């Protein structure tokens, strides 16, 4: 591990009143691209957030479709996060560090009308944890041990 | 791919006025745990967001330490996201879908005083794109093609 390269491990979580474990540990590498003088050993952290958003909304589409007995043949989400790098580079204090906005575009092939598909996506959006975390303020406390 | 299991691919991005590519494509699997009647083929989407936050803040710690000529020996971030599942399960409309709060705890071994290490982490937090995305509202538009 060197430079901005980091490795993350996801293992246990707490649910239904007790500690739960995933079947196996999941590992992620994160890094910054060569453009930022880094080694590009993994996606950037902001891309990881887009991955979380995509998998949350898409799992929602699958769950809602099952509830509504809609047969999905394929679901593809394309995500675009817009960012003005003057923020993160500290060049302009009026520009935020994060995305100015995110666009998610779904292409869905299913046994359903266009309106049913739109309603499916709208319901997934309404129930999504990551959509909530990204669109609304979430308190983060950072401590040093 | 079945149930809530999804696979995400991260490939190109736009920067410095032109399309840029990562050295290689990155792939992620996302899923929900067995507790939620899913196959647990990957971390949950909200855990993926915590991974993004951890790798963003930690890359910042590394970058700021280099700027300040502080030699880091080891940096470990432990993240905890609190979530009341009554939100995401739709049991209580007054409970949000996402995390009620996130705590990041750093353990850092470095050639620096405790105050210098705290200042390092504070600066990383101030410059972090993902910290900004999570703590402040970010607009997300969801479209169906």
Question: What was the pLDDT predicted at A7?
Answer: 73
Question: What was the pLDDT predicted at B85?
Answer: 86
Note whether B87 contacts A129, CB cutoff 8 Å.
Answer: yes
Q: What is the pLDDT of residues A87-133, one digit of tens each?
A: 888 899 899 999 999 999 999 999 999 999 999 999 999 999 999 99
Question: Which residues are bridge partners to B18 per DSSP?
Answer: B15
Note whether A53 contacts B140, CB cutoff 8 Å.
Answer: yes
CB A110 within 8 A of CB B109: no
Chain A residues touching residue B18 (CB < 8 angstroms): none
Which residue in B56, B98, B141 is closest to A130 by CB distance? B98
Distances (CA, A) of A122 to A82, A88, A130, B141, B144: 22, 32, 14, 11, 10
Which residue in B107, B117, B131 is closest to A140 by CB distance? B131
Chain B residues touching residue A13 (CB < 8 angstroms): 33, 44, 47
Chain A residues touching residue B15 (CB < 8 angstroms): 33, 35, 85
DSSP character at residue B70: P
Task: Pick the closest to residue B99 from A51, A134, A103 (CA basis).
Answer: A134
Global pTM exceeds 0.90: no
Core vs surface per residue A122-141: b (16+ CB within 10 A) or e: ebbbebbbbbbbbbeebebe
Six token digits for residue A92: 């302009």
* Nearest-CA distance A116 → chain B (Å): 11
What is the SS3 assignment for B53?
helix
CB B108 within 8 A of CB B117: yes
Nearest CA in chain B to A126: B97
Chain A residues touching residue B88 (CB < 8 angstroms): 127, 129
Nearest CA in chain A to B140: A102
Flag whether pLDDT at B29 surpasses 90: no
Chain A residues touching residue B55 (CB < 8 angstroms): 6, 8, 28, 30-31, 42, 45, 48
Flag whether pLDDT at B23 surpasses 80: no
Q: What is the pLDDT of residues B120-138, one digit of tens each?
A: 999 999 999 999 999 999 9
Average pLDDT over residues B71-77: 94
Which residue in B101, B136, B141 is closest to A98 by CB distance? B136
Question: What was the pLDDT predicted at A135?
Answer: 98
């Amino acid at each position: 591990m060197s430079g901005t390269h980091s490795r993350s491990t996801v293992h246990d979580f707490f649910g239904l009143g007790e500690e739960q474990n995933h079947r196996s540990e999941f590992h992620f590498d994160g890094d910054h691209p060569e453009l930022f003088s880094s080694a590009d050993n993994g996606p950037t952290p902001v891309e990881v957030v887009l991955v979380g958003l995509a998998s949350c909304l898409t799992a929602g589409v699958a769950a809602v479709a099952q509830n509504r007995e809609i047969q999905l043949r394929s679901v593809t989400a394309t995500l675009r996060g817009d960012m003005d790098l003057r923020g993160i580079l500290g060049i302009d204090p009026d520009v935020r560090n994060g995305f100015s906005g995110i666009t998610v575009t779904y292409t869905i092939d299913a046994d359903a009308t266009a309106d049913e598909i739109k309603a499916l996506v709208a319901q997934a959006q309404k129930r999504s944890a990551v959509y909530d975390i990204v669109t609304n303020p979430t308190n983060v406390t950072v401590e040093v041990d």
